[in-house]
Homo-oligomer: A and B are copies of this chain.
Amino acid sequence: MNKALSLLAIILFAGAVHAADSERTFITPPGADPKVAPPYSSGVLVKGTFYVSGTLGVDPATGKVPADAEAEVHLVMDSVKQTLERAGLTMADLVSVTIYCTDLDLYDKFNAIYRSYFQDHYPSRAFIGVAKLVRGARFEIAGVAVKPSKSR
């Protein structure tokens, strides 16, 4: 009984994984006040396919994009990874990634860090130079992951 209550408390605290029905699970932004939550899910898992929102590299301490570009890349990749993990997935499950970037001169620096998040295989990828991103970000990364039918 206590165990069940504790489990319930953990689920309520995490608060951010909603199984809308048997087919769809919505991952909401961590720490967001549901009353003023932004109008998107961090990711949606439906029938084994997980759609990851465009993700920014925001420093949790300041709530801002860091001055250093490489720090930003680590933050955005870590955030994508965490969103996947909250849905029970890993970076290895990513099959498609779109990188929106405001400064293509950062291409090589980005790639060096990006590589470190993958092992055997890379997802398909588009790398797009855009005009501007929310919160002055240099990078926004969206993706699609597919849950393996059984553990690999």
Contact = CB atoms under 8 A, between A and B. Distances in A.
Given A21-B152, A146-B46, A125 B95 contact: no
B21 A96 contact: no
Interface in A20-62: 20-21, 23-24, 26, 38-44, 46-49, 51-54
Interface in A114-136: 114-115, 118, 120-134
Number of chain A interface residues as a range: 35 or more
Contacts of A65: none
A18 interface: yes
Contacts of A98: 54, 126, 142
A43 to B, nearest CB: 5
A57 B123 CA distance: 20
18 contacts: A20-B120, A39-B118, A39-B122, A40-B125, A41-B122, A41-B124, A41-B125, A43-B124, A44-B121, A47-B149, A49-B49, A53-B124, A53-B125, A100-B128, A124-B142, A127-B134, A128-B130, A128-B140
Given A49-B146, A53-B125, 18 more contacts: A18-B121, A23-B146, A23-B148, A24-B121, A26-B121, A39-B111, A39-B115, A39-B122, A40-B122, A44-B96, A44-B121, A46-B146, A49-B49, A51-B123, A52-B124, A53-B126, A129-B132, A130-B131
